[in-house]
Structure 1
Amino acid sequence: MTPRTLYRRIALAEVVTWALLLLGMVLKYVTRTTELGVKVFGLAHGVVFIAFCLVTVLLWVNQRWTVREGLLGLLSAVPPFLTAWWERRLERRGRLEGGWRLGRDGEQPTSPAERIVATLLARPLMAVAVGVVAVLALTGVALVVGPPVSTQG
């Protein structure tokens, strides 16, 4: 899977889970029929949000994005549906071109972040396992911390 394909898929998944969460919020707060949508879709969105952020950091390093591009990529996950726009913008600017620069037979890593990415790309199954564990661990932290508390009211 190329960096472009990975980023496109995770950006789309983030958009879909945002839409489902918003639907759940309508059911909870507008129609007052059920909270189940927020619980289920909120968790799904949280997991995909974390995965999107991790993939953004991975591509930030591999694609040599600027600090501005990396931070905007992370911030694009916050407002609903912005990840799809951000992915298309990167695509139009050629920032998702090519394969895995730091992959097997790729460039030599020159920084600690590049060494981590190169190690993961050299072992794809390990990379997937590390990604899954990272997403689960960060989701667990988010569940312990809990949702933002409203100061209104």
Structure 2
Amino acid sequence: MIDLFKKVAFWEGVSYLLLVFVAMPMKYLAGYPQAVRIVGMAHGVLFVMFCLILADLLRRKEFTFNFSVFAFIMSILPFGTFYLEGKIKSA
């Protein structure tokens, strides 16, 4: 389950960066709001998956409560999930 979590975390991080640094500028600078709808939906699905898997790992006691809170905070920071992956490898 941790391997799945790392994969989802990676793609959630990629989708977040695409949303913030590609789709949003396309919406506000180029007048193309469809970019945010498409990338935003993908990011939303990945974020929900991230949270559900994180909750399951906490329930199974594979992650501590403090680490789960840390992981959630990393998911809302740009580049945070990539930092999180390093923390998971070292844990």
Shared fold (TM-score greater than 0.5)?
yes
Task: Give the Cα separation in 2 of the matches to 1:81 and 1:63.
Answer: 26
Q: Percent identity?
A: 28
> Residue by residue, what CA displacement relative to the aligned partner does 1:42-90 show, whole Å, maximum 9, x if unpaired?
1111111111011111112224422211111122211122112112202
Q: Flag the 1:19–1:54 CA change in 2: closer, same or farther, 3 A.
A: same
What is the one-letter code of the residue matched to 2:18? L
TM-score normalised by length of structure 2:
0.86
* Partner residue, 1:42: 40
Look up the match of 1:27.
26
Amino acid at match of 1:28: K
Per the alignment, do residues 65 and 5 of structure 1 end up closer, same or farther by CA in structure 2, a change over 3 Å counting?
closer
Computed over aligned residues only, the root mean square deviation of the Cα atoms, in angstroms, reads 1.5
Instruction: Please list, as runs of the form range in 1=range in 2, the aligned pairs for 1:89-104 lying within 5 A after superposition.
Output: 89-93=87-91
Q: Which has the larger radius of gyration?
A: 1
The residue matched to 1:58 in structure 2 has which SS? helix
Structure 1, gaps ≥5 residues long: 94-153
Matched letter for residue 85 of structure 1:
Y
Post-superposition offset of 1:20: 2.0
SS in 1 for 2:86: helix
Hey, what's the Cα distance between the residues in 1 that align with 2:39 and 2:74?
19
From 59, 70, 80, the equivalent of 2:57 is 59
| CA distance in 1: counterparts of 2:57 and 2:25, whole angstroms | 34
Task: Name structure 2 gaps, 5 residues minimum.
Answer: none
More RCO (CA 8 Å, sep 6+): 2
Alignment TM-score, normalising by the size of structure 1: 0.54
Which residue in the other structure is 2:75 paired with?
Answer: 77
Q: Which residue of 1 aligns with 2:14?
A: 16
Paired residues, number: 90
